[in-house]
Structure 1
Amino acid sequence: MSRPSIFEFAGGESAFLALAAAHHERCLADPVLNHPFSHPGHPQHVARLAGYWAEVFGGPALYSLSCGGHSAMLDIHAGAGAEDDLGERFIRCFVQAADDAGLPDDTDFRAVLRSYMEWAVRDVLAYSPRDSQVAPGLPVPRWSWDGLQGTDAV
């Protein structure tokens, strides 16, 4: 018997929209994360973030089709510099947002979410230095119950 994708297990698009909204609120409430999250960004930031995470976890490739894939996401963050503890704060907000959004309280599921976000934060922060350049055409990584799928994902 095969397991559903993380996307399906979480509850689909509405679950990822709730997660992105809850995460955004938590970041706004954090004294360090507030600064980058309070600046006007894309008017559909929360929906785009939800679409990105949904795609990562096995949902439809809507982010790639409309926003340009992983390279586009990294370009948004590249060269921004980062506080020393920004990554840990971001992960903490994400983990707590899963509760706020009412995502399944399943140990394996929550471990997969955290594992992904720890990897994602390291990936984004690698492009934090002011002179960082992002390679074009990087696909959105795909994450399953077993972690990152494919060595060419990112």
Structure 2
Amino acid sequence: MQSVYEAVGGTEGLLRLAEAWHHRVMADEMVSHAFSQGFHPQHSERLAAYWAEALGGPTVYSDSYGDETSVVRLHSGHGPHEEMDRRAIACFDQALEDVGLNASEPLRQVLHDYFAWATRTTMSHYHESADDVPEGLGIPQWSWDGLRR
């Protein structure tokens, strides 16, 4: 059985999805606020590499950019933001449509479930301070059956 990474089209498919999501996010007044201080020029490429690793692809993100600790710290210390999270997930769902994944495809549901889980758990767990994020976290792995333990 192919991995979620392979089913979405590998690195190229995830790059298209990351670019579509970033476009949707920047058009959303609330979610774009998260980028008001700027973002890395290769944000979409890095995001695609992160998703690739989480979805069964190569470890380019961990090998080149950082670990889960560094990613979670970027998303931490900003207080609770449930509405922004909800809207970021809605932008992701729209981006899935933008890249041609319709609601009836199992792949779309798996990707939605992954993104919603990551947004509502690991990326929003440390509201008080990025310093609370423990060292050495590994990128969670997601499969067709959900989170791999």
TM-score w.r.t. the length of structure 1 is 0.88
Task: Map residues 63-82 of structure 1 onto 2, 5 A cutoff.
Answer: 63-82=61-80
Give the root-mean-square deviation of aligned CA atoms: 1.7
Note if contact 1:10-1:103 (Cα within 8 Å) is conserved in structure 2: no
Query: 1:103: Cα distance to partner?
Result: 4.2
- Distance in 2 separating the partners of 1:59 and 1:105: 24
1:110 — aligned with what? 108
CA distance in 1 between partners of 2:60 and 2:130 (Å): 30
CA 1:36–1:146 in structure 2 vs 1: closer, same or farther (change >3 Å)? same
Rounded to whole Å, the distance in 2 between the matches of 1:82 and 1:20 is: 24
Can you list the C-alpha shifts for 1:40-65, whole angstroms capped at 9, x where unaligned?
A: 12221111011001111111000011
1:6 aligns with 2:16: no
Q: Which runs of 5+ in 1 are unaligned?
A: none
Residue of structure 2 aligned with 1:96, choices 94, 97, 122: 94
Rounded to whole Å, the distance in 2 between the matches of 1:79 and 1:131 is 5
Asked if the contact 1:28–1:38 (Cα under 8 Å) also holds between the matched residues in 2, the reply is: no
Partner Cα distance (1:14, 1:38) in 2: 27
Alpha-carbon distance in structure 1 between the residues aligned to 2:13 and 2:40: 21
Counterparts of 2:71 and 2:130, CA distance in 1: 17
Match of 2:127 in 1: 128
> In the alignment, is residue 37 of structure 1 matched against residue 35 of structure 2?
yes
In the alignment of these two chains, the number of paired residues is: 148
Alpha-carbon distance in 2 for matches of 1:105, 1:84: 24
% same residue: 43
Letter in 2 for 1:135: P
Supply the distance in 1 between the matched residues of 2:130 and 2:62 (Cα, whole angstroms).
Answer: 25
Give me the TM-score of the superposition, normalised by structure 2: 0.91
1:10-21 alignment, distance < 5 Å: 10-21=8-19
Query: Partners in 2 of 1:15 and 1:103 — Cα distance?
Result: 11
Runs of 4+ in 1 over 3 A off after TM superposition: 103-106
